[in-house]
A and B are shown apart, each in its own frame.
Chain A
């Protein structure tokens, strides 16, 4: 029992023995499987006897005074007694909570408990971030038997992400939308999409009122042009201000992210966003197992639960790994440009310096990091 790294002790009452031999078959060296406990090989009666011997031993034959004061004890037996009584106590607690549950369900319960009462990701230290990511990976493994990789990579220094959209080039193919849904594990039942492509009539200017963001016909349609919107990752985001629990915030590299586990689902941020950039999980999001993207980030495309907000994160799992977001990579026309605004040699900087760029609803003072331009 000395290398007891588990957080609980299982007394093995009412559980099936895996082997009858003394060695444990579970392959673990910790005491968690129960096979390492000396007690489990005895019958209940013998166990009781041993337990009493261990805890009070020869005091059974003595009266009260002698039991308490007249005890010969060296250090080793004192430790032995202490350990034995501790084990009995811990075992009693453990078994009173669960008699028949196995190790895996106990581990699941432990993970669920810790996840339920963990803190806000924004305020976690790097070690705590790793801890919760490890728990989530393990939890997924226990539940589905599949492995995922999840990152908790922080913002890098001297990076500020920005995005530019070339209205002249976009043809409305919606490849970006599909790539986004697949990359970010969005709910397939409600057909949640972060990106909306607005089909506008030529000669009417940017008239969103007459635009159609839900078209089902061959593109590019005659006499129309296209324009995409998504979360603009504002530098002064109203959604962040209004959140009552700071479940959404602006990271140092400019990404506006959500801690799905901290969100209480009040949807105030949704009302505050002037750009229709946020989505809510009205029911439990479902993605077929085969289609799940296993390369995940805590703040990005990991699986969400029902009743929480989510949004475009500029594919944080990709952008912080030095890749372009999925929408940029998928665009067949090259209408989408993404990069580091602090890098003077980046394409995005070239666009901002050489094109006539504009942003939507600039009068609201939100400072979006998403520019539109035309060739």
Chain B
């Protein structure tokens, strides 16, 4: 009974915290709300007219939604880069950052699920996918694996921080024996979510561009670069706008993680390019389309030729200790790396998988305004969820939010 009372008080207190703040905070939340509403309006148009309002066709049947979904799974998996050292290896330097990382994971997973639902032709029959009520094609369909691992990871990333914050809220220490097993599990789970998502594409013999053993490992490498890069940027913002203290040491350690992952990612990219272009086969056509265009169709060229230089530049800059330890350079590198991987793992991966089609047809894809509107709305939703989670967590960690026994 007492726990419920504490929980009720926590909900009330956090509601108080998230509704009060500086002018900038209110402006930020109002902006996000506006973008979300605009996205919902775009989605309502899509619901009414069907997916024909998007740029997708029978030739290119997945587009912006699935691209963003794929990328965000990677971002969600990245929270583990902070969880492992803090909880398992007892590296306290990460302690301040880990809750933020898990908040990002929760927001990213919610965005993932929203993107999948936005991509569905029949969201009203989504219950067909619920195990027990519907028919769950497990273990044959990789999509069912993905549903399981994503929801499981969401559960882990909600419960572990919630337990810790709930204890801190009452002024108690969190028990290691309770959260350590969950933390260890979530480490493996994070690798699983990204590998399973890669297998979703990797397992399709119909699409040679995806049907490639390096896809899964490259997903992991790029995720462990882009995710912590985002975490660094978020930590920088939080450091600036709140009293929450994040040491330089923490950020530098995360930067190290980003650097190593970005280097591995670059090596794998070179390996892929070598395979596609040294002895090009019929199966290299998608890569040709992506990097050079086919038959004068070259819609993806500006994207990929933005991504590759940014990726290389960021990796090179990060490799030098002097440059990496300069925070201005670091934040710039993290930003361009994030953008580069978003392009590469989103657009640059999903769209060329369909081009050329099974019989060589080259039909290009360009997202429509409505599609972009829904996408922005979902990103705003993610930012909104994260802001709420982070504000409450920071409030509790700073001791501003405390359970007061009523006397």
Contacts and interface: CB of A to CB of B under 8 A. Distances in A.
Given A262-B125, A280-B121, A308-B121, A270 B50 contact: no
Contacts of A263: 121-122, 125
19 contacts: A209-B360, A242-B140, A242-B142, A243-B137, A245-B135, A245-B136, A246-B137, A263-B122, A264-B129, A265-B51, A267-B61, A267-B121, A268-B143, A271-B62, A271-B204, A282-B52, A283-B52, A307-B50, A307-B121
A274 B205 contact: yes
B367 interface: no
A116 B204 CA distance: 31
Contacts of B125: 116, 261-264
A84 B134 CA distance: 39
B122 A307 contact: yes
Contacts of A272: 204, 206
A238 B359 contact: no
Most B CB contacts (10 A, CB to CB) among A274, A305, A309, A365 go to A274
A282 B206 contact: no
Nearest to A261: B125
B137 to A, nearest CB: 5
A276 interface: yes
Describe A's contact surface by its main secondary structure. Answer: loop
A213 to B, nearest CB: 7
Given A198-B359, A273-B206, A280-B61, A120 B121 contact: no
Contact of A120 (B135, B201, B359): B135
Given A244-B136, A244-B144, A274-B206, A264 B126 contact: yes
A270 B60 CA distance: 9
User: How many B residues touch the partner, as a band?
Assistant: 35 or more
A358 interface: no
B50 A120 contact: no
Contacts of B119: 266-267
Contacts of A198: 359
Contact of A244 (B51, B121, B141): B141
B61 A246 contact: no
B87 interface: no
A245 B134 contact: yes
Interface in B180-205: 200-201, 203-205
A137 B38 CA distance: 40
Contact of A245 (B129, B204, B206): B129
A245 B50 contact: no
B202 to A, nearest CB: 12
A308 B126 CA distance: 12
B159 interface: no
A229 interface: yes
B120 A307 contact: yes
A265 B122 contact: yes
A281 B50 contact: yes
B29 interface: no
Given A262-B128, A271-B207, A276 B359 contact: yes
A238 B205 contact: yes
A264 B137 contact: no
A311 B136 CA distance: 22
B359 A213 contact: yes
A241 B145 CA distance: 13
Interface in B139-172: 140-144, 147
A215 interface: no
A247 to B, nearest CB: 7
A196 interface: yes
